Amino acid sequence: MRLPLLLFVVLLLISRASAQAPSQGIPSPWKQAQVGKILFSTRAVTPSAASERDFIAHYELTYKSNLYFTAYLSKPLTAQMQALAPALPVDTLHRLSGYRFTLYLDGKPVYTSDIQGAPLPAIRDTETVLHKPLIDNAREGAWWTQFFWGRFLRNGGTDALTDGQHLMRLEIRPHVRDIIGEVIAAGDLVLTVNLHPKIDLSAVTLHPPTSYPGLAVSTAAFDRNKIRELKARIELAEFKKINSIIVIKEGKLLIEEYFNGASRTTLHNSRSVGKSFASTMTGIALQEGHIKSITQPLKDFYALQQYANYSPLKEQVTIRDLLTMNSVFDGDDNDGDSPGNEENMYPTDNWVKFTLDLPVTKTIPRGQWHYFTAGVMVLGDMLNQKVPGGLEAYTKQKLFDPLQIGKYEWTYTPQHVPSTAGGLQLAALDLAKYGQLYKNGGTWQGKQVVPKAWINQTFSKQIALPERAGEYYGLLFWNKQYTVNGKAYETYYCTGNGGNKVFVFTDQPLVIVVTASAYGMPYAHPQVDRIMNEFVLPAVLDVAGASK
């Protein structure tokens, strides 16, 4: 029986289309030839349109490099995992398994990481082309693969990547618990590492500071070459996303440098540096009688029985407990599973209710410090209730106006109360004036702005920081020491996400400010410690051979 001509044509077209249909997302013969391989590129590519010319075999690695990989897999990760543990249900596989990444340099394994929780299950079920950044300087932290690269650097990679040529190899395996599969994709890249270029210090010009309201210019000597080298390394992106460095010595402006488009007028989102301002305003409000004492309990401000998870222990929480992050609430920002983690608070429509609804902790030992942003936010709400005109107007009148700080931006709670959780934005020099106020014992231009007794109480070792030997917490200020040339220098300081710092040294006439925007990056705080230890403190402490 003969088919009608039209039906024959339709079937023929369908047959031809089926023969040309892509297989597992790898449509072309070239891509099919790449199955089991990892290729590298300097930019994001579209896997479906990628070709040989998009990829590289050699690359110069600098601090400004971007590096992507594309892995072509024979089948999705879920299928790879099922082959390793066929008896486990798929949802269990997703919880217990993932990719294992291993990076080699010159034939030696440097770092291996079992990736948990990424990619998402739907992607694991279907993805056969894995295209992700290892380094993307414009969008840091956007992908789990970037955090893998960061862990590689912190776990031997930095030491292994000496300047010169290296062969880097990336291998990917599936794993289910301790069951490790065979390599499902691998690729090599010849790296010419150039992470320590020679710096011509004569070509680096320091910014000459000029007077600023409340700050005269210092003529003290310092090691200019140290600061020139630091400036060059920041501009080479060895130190990333540093926006300003300010040094005040003996109350005068000694060093003022800006980076990444920042200037004197830039308002810096210094994140949790703003928490320390809650301490400042508590001290002023206490002096003026708007609050009774720092032993005043939470029950004086809120009807706690109206909130969820009521416990008499909540009624015993004091202002001091919130200032020292030592309350009984089940909140710990360093624990992603903590019910009171700040990331659980922000999506709610009432942050105070969120906090007061929290249960009493059953896991944190009584009296142990735990980082609790929500508690500091509640402290700000308590102040807002008691000070004349509310916290925003009161802070302007009592702190910002005396310090001649006219430009700043608050963040607010959903009830439009200034948020003392963090996010107060100030110019770097105004942050420096705030630090100098504390260095002065609370006085500014002859006026006692903050009670000296409060400064002394703030700059006291109220509570030891767990797992941080020799470090302490005051009243929403931190305490530690830097060691330079074998000598220790004590500082109380404010600190915020991204690497933001205001250092007030107790035994040196120094206030140092660093503003940075490496938000959420593991290197953010360690790189500031390195900046302080290797460059800023040696420059301003040891002036042997220094020039003006």
pLDDT tens, residue by residue, 364-386:
999 999 999 999 999 999 999 99
Is residue 480 in a domain?
A: yes
- Beta strands (DSSP E) in 218-263 are 242-249, 252-258
Residues 179 and 62 in one domain: yes
**116 falls in which pLDDT band (50, 70, 90)?**
confident
Is residue 534 in a domain?
A: yes
Residue 526 domain boundaries: 201-271+424-541
**Could you tell me where the DSSP H helices lie in 127-247?**
144-152, 158-160, 224-235
Percent of the chain with pLDDT over 70: 94
**400 falls in which pLDDT band (50, 70, 90)?**
very high
Q: Classify residue 421 by its DSSP letter.
A: T
Residues 209 and 156 in one domain: no
Q: Given this model, what pLDDT does residue 542 score? A: 60
Q: What are phi and psi of 424, to 5 degrees?
A: -60, 125
Question: Out of 20-34, 57-71, 137-151, 175-189, which region has the weakest mean confidence (pLDDT)?
Answer: 20-34
Is residue 279 in a domain?
A: yes
Is residue 64 in a domain?
A: yes
* For the chain, the helix, strand and coil percentages under 3-state DSSP, each to the nearest 5: 35, 25, 40
Is residue 5 in a domain?
A: no
Residue 12 pLDDT greater than 70, yes or no? no
Residues 178 and 107 in one domain: yes
Residue 5 pLDDT greater than 60, yes or no? no
Residues 234 and 291 in one domain: no
Tokens describing residue 363? 């896991």
Q: Classify residue 408 by its DSSP letter.
A: E
Query: Global pTM?
Result: 0.91
Q: Given this model, what pLDDT does residue 277 score? A: 98
| Structural domain ending residue among the three candidates 369, 403, 437 | 403
d(CA 489, CA 537) in angstroms, rounded, equals: 9
| Structural domain ending residue among the three candidates 403, 438, 469 | 403
Residue 401 pLDDT greater than 80, yes or no? yes
Residues 264 and 278 in one domain: no
Residues 169 and 221 in one domain: no
**117 falls in which pLDDT band (50, 70, 90)?**
confident
**27 falls in which pLDDT band (50, 70, 90)?**
low
Torsion, Cα 414 418 422 423, to 10 degrees, reads 90
Residue 81 near residue 176 (C-beta atoms within 8 A): yes
| Structural domain ending residue among the three candidates 347, 374, 403 | 403
Is residue 547 in a domain?
A: no
Residues 267 and 166 in one domain: no
Residues 348 and 434 in one domain: no
Question: Out of 82-96, 223-237, 383-397, which region has the weakest mean confidence (pLDDT)?
Answer: 82-96
**Per-residue pLDDT tens digits for 341-355:** 999 999 999 999 999
Higher-pLDDT residue of 541, 18? 541
Question: Out of 27-36, 318-327, 480-489, which region has the weakest mean confidence (pLDDT)?
Answer: 27-36
| Average pLDDT score over residue span 499-526 | 97
Residues 265 and 279 in one domain: no
Is residue 418 in a domain?
A: no
Residues 80 and 187 in one domain: yes
> What mean pLDDT is reported for the chain?
93
Residues 517 and 436 in one domain: yes
Percent of the chain with pLDDT over 90: 91
Overall number of domains in the chain: 3
Residues 159 and 278 in one domain: no
Q: Given this model, what pLDDT does residue 28 score? A: 76
d(CA 384, CA 209) in angstroms, rounded, equals: 37
Report the CATH number that the domain containing residue 328 is assigned in CATH. 3.40.710.10
Is residue 473 in a domain?
A: yes
**Per-residue pLDDT tens digits for 159-217:** 999 999 999 999 999 999 899 999 999 999 999 999 999 999 999 999 999 999 999 99
Biggest distance spanned by C-alpha atoms of the chain? 109
User: In which region does residue 141 sit, left (phi positive, over 0), alpha (psi from -120 to 50) or beta (all else)?
Assistant: left
**Per-residue pLDDT tens digits for 422-469:** 999 999 999 999 999 999 999 999 999 999 999 999 999 999 999 999
